[in-house]
Each structure stands twice: as C-alpha cells, then as structure tokens.
Amino acid sequence: MSTDGHLVIVGGGLAAAKSAEHLRLQGYTGPITIFAGEDHLPYERPPLSKDYLQGKSEFDQALVHPKQWYALNHVTVRQGTSVVAIDAVGKKLRTSAGATVDWDTMILATGSAPRRLPLPGTDADNVYSLRTVEDSTAIRGHFGPDQRLVLIGGGWIGLEVAAAARLAGTRVTILEGAAQPLLAVLGPEISPHFATLHTDHGVDLRCSVKITEVATRHGKATAVRLADGEVVEADAVVIGIGVAPQIELARAAGLKTENGVLVDSTLQTSNPDIYAVGDIANHIHPVLECRVRVEHWATALNQPAAVAATITGQRTEYAELPYFFSDQYDLGMEYIGYAPAGSYDRIIVRGDPSVREFMAFWVDARNRVLACMNVNIWDVMDDFKALILSRKGVDPAKLADQSVPLGELL
C-alpha cells in the first residue's frame, strides 16, 4: 500500500488524533487530513465526566495534541467540518461546507452519539446528554447545594456525573429502569455495590422505574414524571441511556455494517482502502475469537497503532483486551476482559466489598477467567491479563483466597 497518498480521517476525537500520530511515527509521508465536526482540536472525553466536570482540570488538558503538533507533523485539521457523504468507488468525499475532497486511504473514526429518549419534554433547554465539552460545561453550571439534578440512566456516565454533582453539594436523583445500576455490565453480584456507593453519598437512587415525560414550563424542564404518577422535581436533567455508533456514513458508502462497522482483525472494512477505529469498529478479536465492539477510551487510544501499522505495510492484528475504568467519589476501578451476559458461569470475589477494596473475576463453566475488575486495589493488571490470556481453568477457591498471589494461580 502507498504511504504517500492523501489519507483522510473522518472524525475528530481521540481515535482520529492518535491515528494521525501513529501514521507519522510509522513512516506515513503523504498528506493527512482530519475532518473534525466540533470547533475544537481533537480531545479526550473521559475528563468530561470526571476532572473537567468537577472543575479540577482545564479543557486544554484534555487535548490529545497541542495546536503546534499538527503543524509540525503536517497534519491538517478541518475544525467544524463534518463529512456528509463518501464515494467509496470514486474515492471522493463531500463536506458540510459543500467541498469535494479526493482521498486515497480513509480511516473512519466517527464515534458514537448519545441515545435519545423519545418522550415529551426531552428537548427542553436544561435537558442534557454528555458528549461534548459544551455539554460538560453546561451540566457543571447546575451544580451546587441549591440545585436539583435528575439523572435518567444509571450507567457509567450517569454514575460519574452523579458523583461529580454530589461532591459539589448538588441534590441528585438517579432514575434507572433496571433493578440495579450497571446490572447489564457487572451482573447482579457486583452492581449492588455501586448502588450502595451512591446511596451512601446521599444520592436518591430509584431503580425499576418507568419514565413517562419530562415536565416543562416556558421551555425549561421542571420535573420528571414517572409511570406511577410520582413527580421528581428538577432544575436540570441529564439523560445517560447509552450511545449508538455513528455508522450512517459507512452504511451509505456501501460498507458492511452490523452493530457498528464490520472490520477484520486489522481493522480493515469491506473496502480495502477504508479502515475503522474506536466506538464504531466491530472487529474480529484474534484472542477472544469473536466479534467485539467496545465503546471505551482505551479502544480509541490503542487501535490506531495497529491500523497505522497495517496501512504502512506491516499487517498487524488488534489483539488488546477490552479495558475501561471509572472514578466515583473515593472509588477507583478498572475492568479488563470480555464477559457479556450469558458467557460466564459465575463471579468470584476476592477481598471485602463492604470496605470497597476487592477484586472480581468472571469465570466460565470450565473455570477460565473471562474478565477481571479491581476496586481500589492497584498494580494487578498484568496478573489479570495473564489469567485471561492463559485460557486455562483456575482453582476457584484459590482465586477467592487473598493469601494466594494471583501470579501463582496458573
């Protein structure tokens, strides 16, 4: 493959900026253009629900690269410019500004968009989703002891926003449709510990509820109405019910899509000149031996190195295990591996969840470790990876026994 043609990156987030970085590091000499729909240089999104939302960091600290990096590395960033159509055969694209641009190789890094809640009142001025820095800034403006914040959805974003709001003294209510927050991700054994974390910090957590509307007055949300007739008053509402991969461009361009953009283990799409990275990439995982699409920061951070290697002639499979982390109050956690519902037999806990210092292991019927989580216990990630990658059964009793070093389980 040529390394001097015009390479375009569609999308302006972490995956886009890291793709440009690794292409240059691995010898790509041709022009690189990033089409960033937002009026910003590419930035990382975790601070939007963590340090930036809490006022602990400035937006500039979230930038992947400073402005001068792009000039020094001859990377053009078209800020505030989206791609609205892709001609995969003629190798042209059309931008939101009406321009037509020729390209030789393309990387799709369009990311995800928050799912909308199709209920009355959700278009009110003070109803938010969290995706951009402007969203985070606006939500933070509703923090304080005299403010009532209602969060619809008890996933990672909802819980992190709740923690940031409570740390600022805000009165917080979480409305969750499932029996526990994070139930689909962590299972019934682990999710209650996160519920307790938030109720212990003063959050009004309501699970198994159904919402019928967001009540408004003069274009602003004033409350959330539940199916049982109860009204939860609010000065602002944040909707966090998950995200959907933005694959409309890929589908319209004739690429194969299904729960994302279908790519092989090197992140190449059904068109040999187009690749996909980040939230949209539904890739064949060479270790897990199944298709995986992961909507987390680590995917956007790590996939670009593999795709850049392949584009520059060193065909590389992306084999990193799925990973994510969260910070809530004084709880920090990491999760690595892949254990969707139905894939594991049970969860084994090591440590004491009551003091929020423990590990959890998702194991299958053959006692193989599929995924691991550490809560306020650090420097165990290498052992976790070894357990998962070994694909060997372990002794469940020893796995639960804190006196047995993890490194001795294999």
**CA dist., res. 406 & res. 409, Å (int):** 6
Q: How confident is the model at residue 1 (pLDDT cuts 50, 70, 90)?
A: low
Centroid of chain to Cα 211: 25
DSSP-assigned letter for residue 341: T
- Quote the mean pLDDT of the chain: 97
Q: Does the structure show a pLDDT above 70 at 165?
A: yes
Average pLDDT over residues 137-157: 97
Average pLDDT over residues 154-170: 97
pLDDT of residue 341: 87
pLDDT of residue 2: 67
Q: How confident is the model at residue 371 (pLDDT cuts 50, 70, 90)?
A: very high
Q: Rounded to whole angstroms, what are the CA distances from 321 to 38, 380, 385?
A: 30, 15, 8
What angle do the packed helices 183-200 and 156-167 form, to 10 degrees? 10
Q: How confident is the model at residue 4 (pLDDT cuts 50, 70, 90)?
A: confident
Average pLDDT over residues 248-267: 98
**One-letter amino acid of 113:** A
Average pLDDT over residues 178-201: 96
What is the tens place of the pLDDT at every residue in 82-139? 999 999 999 999 999 999 999 999 999 999 999 999 999 999 999 999 999 999 999 9
Average pLDDT over residues 26-45: 97
Q: Does the structure show a pLDDT above 90 at 368?
A: yes
Average pLDDT over residues 369-387: 97
pLDDT of residue 3: 83
Q: Does the structure show a pLDDT above 90 at 275?
A: yes
Average pLDDT over residues 9-22: 98
The pTM score is: 0.95
With vertex at residue 269, the alpha carbon angle to CA 267 and CA 275, rounded to the nearest 5 degrees, is: 55
